[in-house]
Amino acid sequence: MDFFGMLMWPIKWVLEAVLVGFHWLFEWFGMDPASGLVWVLSIASLVLVVRTAMIPLTVKQIKSSRKALEVAPEVKKIQDKYKGKKDSLSREAMNREVMEVYKKAGTNPLASCLPLLVQMPVFLGLVQVLNTANQGVAGVGAMSEVLARQFRASTLFEAVPLHMSLEVGVSEWNWPVIITAVSMTIFMVGAQFYTQLQIMTKNQTPQMKESPMYKQQRMMLYIIPFFLLITAWIFPLATMFYWLVSNVYTLVQQLIIINRMPNPGSEAALAREAKMARKRQRMGLPAVEGEEKQDEEDTVIENLQRKQPRKKGPRSNR
């Protein structure tokens, strides 16, 4: 076993345990263990487990983004200070000063990438697990040879083999596979594109829209769907089900974040403030101002993790 295989082994072991565990659970409820529907439901359940386990990272990402937003003006001043200086010493000094600002604020610009950095090894591990099962070979843990052969022979609605890809379906003119793969691809790409579009148009402040990171996000808005089209062509349908459910999960999660705890100063935040003000006026209460509004946002974030004692004392406006 090579070094990469050793790194992926525990990930695949856990994925197989969760996948086979849900497969056994659906069988226990009386469903046909050899049917493709049971395997699809098991894969979807695996997505829910993985993404739910990542909620603490998502919360950390939100908090880090908020803190980065607070220090954005200070970072901009440092960047303007070194504007036009291309020598290595100036670039190193600028990076050092910027990182010092982030350190004092208790955040890290890489924190926003944590969910993606965690999810990618999981996805790669699942690809390897399903590819091994497609060959009818036992995995590293709970995926026995019997289950692997059962998975390879499984079909969805007795017409769509889960081990096939769109590429194979087109080469064999298997219309059920082609229609299923194309439909899943449309929903998968659509969910990804809409999610990123909502983040960029509704949950970005004017300062964030002027940053280089925003330009990179605009590029990713089109690059990621193109990447998904390529993967949809070569990956088996079973793997596509994982990606589809994961994208839908991300869409729902981001809509909740945008509506319940948007970035301060963003279009979504202004819309929520106006909505809350109208609601309080109907109740005969004064409109929510800085401290109360921020307390509500912090409460939503804290409830995603666990109830924690609130700090006493006045909270400064952000």
C-alpha 232/C-alpha 204 separation (Å) is 30
Residue written as token pair 């509506």: 259
Residue written as token pair 């994925």: 15
222-241 confidence digits (pLDDT tens): 777 787 788 788 888 888 88
Looking at residue 31, its pLDDT comes to: 92
- Pairing between β-strand 155-156 and β-strand 160-161 as defined by DSSP bridges: antiparallel
The token pair that represents 21 in the structure block: 């565990």
Query: CA 236 → CA 52, 175, 210, 312, distances in Å?
Result: 25, 15, 40, 54
Looking at residue 109, its pLDDT comes to: 65
Closest CA to 132 of 117, 121, 143, 146: 143
Looking at residue 219, its pLDDT comes to: 72
How many residues comprise the chain? 318
The token pair that represents 77 in the structure block: 């001043």
Query: CA 204 → CA 201, 250, 295, 304, distances in Å?
Result: 6, 18, 21, 22
Residue written as token pair 């064999």: 172
C-alpha 279/C-alpha 286 separation (Å) is 10
Looking at residue 317, its pLDDT comes to: 45
Looking at residue 22, its pLDDT comes to: 95
Predicted TM-score (pTM) of the model is 0.75
C-alpha 64/C-alpha 115 separation (Å) is 13
Looking at residue 316, its pLDDT comes to: 45
Which residue positions in the chain have pLDDT lower than 70?
Answer: 1, 65, 69-70, 109-116, 207-217, 286-318
Amino acid letter, residue 261: M
> Which residue blocks in the chain are alpha helix, DSSP H?
3-28, 36-53, 55-70, 72-81, 88-105, 114-134, 145-153, 166-171, 175-202, 206-209, 212-234, 237-260, 267-282, 290-305
C-alpha 11/C-alpha 32 separation (Å) is 27
Dihedral in degrees, nearest 10, Cα atoms 35, 38, 44, 46: -120
Query: CA 187 → CA 241, 244, 256, distances in Å?
Result: 11, 7, 20
71-96 confidence digits (pLDDT tens): 777 877 887 887 877 777 878 888 88
C-alpha 75/C-alpha 194 separation (Å) is 30
Domain extent listing, the chain:
1-71+107-163, 269-305
